[in-house]
């Protein structure tokens, strides 16, 4: 029968302290906590947890190594499958993935797999040096567009298989959303950069400030000597509510708000000369990770009251459970079953209020979530001077518009063969948010893994049968 020792809790900064800084909230296990948690793993003969991991990390094996105090080996075991373990240990929605299948979860708390993954990878980063492995080269050349989790995974896997990989990234830094979206207090940027360095240590070349579709098209890359191209350009185009008043001053897309706060370092003003204006009462529309991050940034930037305004109920909120809990602890207020229908400004064009209508839930829609319906006559207004729209993102269309023959859906995502991630063009593969629409780090990495395998097979077949 499954043992029922309680799960080791994650030490965190106190609420009083953390709402005034951008330092990491979750402090990570020390050795004692890591060993205590690892000890809860039953090392099941037929582990179910691996089924829940899109990149199939050998979970019981790495936890066994932690139990044996072999932390570096544990990190290496994870890295056999996952190039970004310190990132995944921090931001993966484990409760919906590996931990959901943990047998201990039937009667109590599942093993804190993500927390152990974080412990092992942090231990390795802090206590060892990156070594440059010797890899036999195949002569294959691959261009990877975008350096988010999907691009980094493809790049790492193909480099390990002996191909020369060049990552083309439009921003001045690598890491995709991990760098420009997720705030420092959830995912410190030095952690992301350490994992990028690991990918670089495998021989991957990074070319920054290089926007594919503007500098060179996919076709030009294919004609320019690359055997294959992977498109991992993400979903960086914000969606809007399309309600009256959405252009008032004081209303941001979550993309703009988070990029200015994190990547442009508004949170370090005046050290960085790039401030952002945040008022006293902030309404964040949406309830995913992006919304929670925006709300918690607004609080740290000095807002007195921050509301999450969401048209469904708590059960349907897409954000990671842990982050909803953190947001609540910090005093973020949740206005659920509430839909904004109009923003109201003053005569100078600045936002003053939002008009909302209460919702009730009816039958599930195509997403499986219960559909919200307005309750007639339930309109009310709330005073806010800043709004952040966090209701989802779509792919940026540059590549789709400049690549003849690349089939896309009506949502602007790229159509692929789901087993190989090949697009409608030979030698051109795609994965991550640009295919699935905005999703998760680990699903983007899972897609990258599949693509890397298919690209490898494609290049080897091409080299064996040159036409």
Within 77-96, the residues that bind ligand FAD by CB under 6 A are 91-93
Residue 219, classed as helix, strand or coil, is: helix
CB of 33 to ligand FAD, least distance (A): 22
CB of 104 to ligand FAD, least distance (A): 23
* Cβ 334 vs Cβ 314: under 8 Å: yes
What would you report as the CA-atom Rg of the chain, rounded to the nearest whole angstrom?
A: 23
Token code pair at residue 93 = 């929605």
How many angstroms separate the CA atoms of 223 and 341, rounded?
A: 49
Q: Residue 308, interface with ligand FAD (CB under 6 A)?
A: no
Q: Residue 157, interface with ligand FAD (CB under 6 A)?
A: no
How many angstroms separate the CA atoms of 431 and 418, rounded?
A: 9
What are the helix and strand counts (H, E) for the chain? 16, 16
Token code pair at residue 358 = 């209460």
How many angstroms separate the CA atoms of 354 and 375, rounded?
A: 17
**Per-residue contact flags (x/-) with ligand FAD for residues 434 to 453, judged by CB under 6 A:** x---xxxxx-x---------
Q: Residue 145, interface with ligand FAD (CB under 6 A)?
A: yes
Measuring CA to CA, how many Å separate 111 from each of 10, 26, 173, 227, 423? 12, 17, 35, 43, 38
CB of 149 to ligand FAD, least distance (A): 4
| Of 60, 114, 140, 151, the one binding ligand FAD by CB under 6 A | 151
Q: Residue 389, interface with ligand FAD (CB under 6 A)?
A: no
**Per-residue contact flags (x/-) with ligand FAD for residues 240 to 259, judged by CB under 6 A:** ------------------x-
Of the candidates 275, 313, 304, 287, the one whose C-alpha atom is nearest the C-alpha of residue 386 is: 304
| Of 396, 403, 413, 423, the one binding ligand FAD by CB under 6 A | 396
* Cβ 231 vs Cβ 429: under 8 Å: yes
Within 158-177, the residues that bind ligand FAD by CB under 6 A are 168-171, 176-177
Q: Residue 293, interface with ligand FAD (CB under 6 A)?
A: yes
Q: Residue 422, interface with ligand FAD (CB under 6 A)?
A: no
DSSP 259: I
Q: Residue 399, interface with ligand FAD (CB under 6 A)?
A: yes
Q: Residue 290, interface with ligand FAD (CB under 6 A)?
A: yes
Residue numbers at the binding site for ligand FAD (CB under 6 A): 91-93, 145-151, 168-171, 176-177, 181-182, 211-213, 232-234, 236, 258, 289-290, 293, 320, 396, 398-399, 432-434, 438-442, 444
């Amino acid at each position: 029968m499954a043992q029922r020792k309680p799960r080791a809790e994650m030490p965190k900064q106190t609420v009083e302290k953390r709402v005034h800084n951008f330092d990491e909230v979750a402090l990570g296990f020390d050795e004692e906590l890591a060993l205590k948690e690892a000890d809860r793993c039953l090392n099941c003969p037929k582990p179910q947890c691996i089924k829940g991991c899109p990149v199939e990390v050998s979970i019981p094996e790495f936890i066994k190594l932690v139990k044996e105090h072999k932390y570096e080996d544990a990190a290496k075991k994870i890295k056999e499958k996952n190039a970004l373990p310190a990132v995944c240990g921090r931001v993966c929605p484990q409760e919906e993935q590996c931990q959901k299948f943990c047998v201990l979860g039937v009667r109590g708390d599942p093993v804190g797999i993500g927390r152990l993954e974080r412990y092992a990878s942090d231990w390795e980063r802090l206590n060892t040096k990156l070594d440059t492995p010797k890899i036999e080269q195949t002569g294959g050349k691959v261009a990877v567009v975008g350096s988010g989790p999907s691009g980094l995974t493809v790049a790492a896997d193909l480099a390990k298989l002996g191909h020369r990989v060049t990552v083309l990234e439009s921003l001045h830094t690598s890491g995709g959303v991990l760098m420009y979206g997720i705030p420092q207090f959830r995912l410190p940027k030095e952690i992301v950069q350490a994992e990028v360095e690991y990918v670089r240590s495998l021989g991957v070349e990074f070319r920054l400030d290089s926007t594919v579709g503007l500098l060179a098209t996919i076709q030009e890359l294919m004609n320019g000597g690359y055997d294959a191209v992977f498109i991992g350009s993400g979903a960086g185009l914000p969606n809007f509510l399309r309600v009256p008043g959405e252009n008032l001053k004081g209303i941001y897309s979550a993309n703009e708000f988070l990029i200015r706060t994190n990547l442009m370092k508004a949170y370090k003003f005046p050290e960085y000369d790039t401030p952002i204006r945040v008022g006293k009462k902030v309404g964040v529309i949406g309830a995913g990770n992006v919304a929670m991050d925006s709300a918690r940034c607004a609080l740290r930037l000095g807002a007195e009251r921050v509301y999450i305004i969401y048209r469904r109920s708590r059960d349907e909120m897409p954000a990671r459970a842990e982050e909803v809990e953190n947001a609540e602890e910090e005093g973020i207020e949740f206005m659920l079953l509430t839909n904004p229908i109009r923003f109201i400004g003053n005569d100078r064009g600045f936002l003053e209020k939002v008009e909302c209508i209460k919702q009730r839930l009816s039958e599930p829609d195509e997403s499986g979530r219960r559909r919200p319906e307005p309750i007639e006559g339930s309109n009310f207004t709330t005073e806010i001077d800043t709004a952040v729209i966090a209701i989802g993102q779509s792919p940026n269309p540059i590549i789709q518009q400049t690549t003849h023959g690349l089939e896309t859906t009506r949502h602007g995502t790229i159509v692929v063969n789901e087993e190989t991630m090949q697009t409608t063009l030979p030698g051109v593969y795609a994965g991550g948010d640009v295919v699935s629409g905005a999703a998760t780090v680990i699903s983007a990495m899972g897609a990258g893994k599949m693509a890397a395998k298919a690209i490898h097979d494609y290049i080897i077949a091409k080299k064996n049968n040159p036409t």
